[in-house]
Amino acid sequence: MLESGNRIAVFPAIAAAGIEKGGALSIFGIEDTTAALLGKILLILILGLILLLVIYIVYKRRQIRRKKQERARRLREKKEYEEARRMEWERHYESRHWENR
Quick: pLDDT tens for 48-85.
999 999 999 999 999 999 999 999 999 999 999 999 99
Q: Which of 5-14, 26-35, 62-71, 79-88 has the lowest mean pLDDT?
A: 5-14
The DSSP code sequence of the chain is -EETTEE--------SS--PPP-GGGGGT--HHHHHHHHHHHHHHHHHHHHHHHHHHHHHHHHHHHHHHHHHHHHHHHHHHHHHHHHHHHHHHHHHHHHT-
Predicted confidence at residue 82, as pLDDT, reads 97
Residue 4 clears pLDDT 60, i.e. is over it: yes
Q: Where along the chain do its domains lie? A: 13-99
Predicted confidence at residue 101, as pLDDT, reads 60
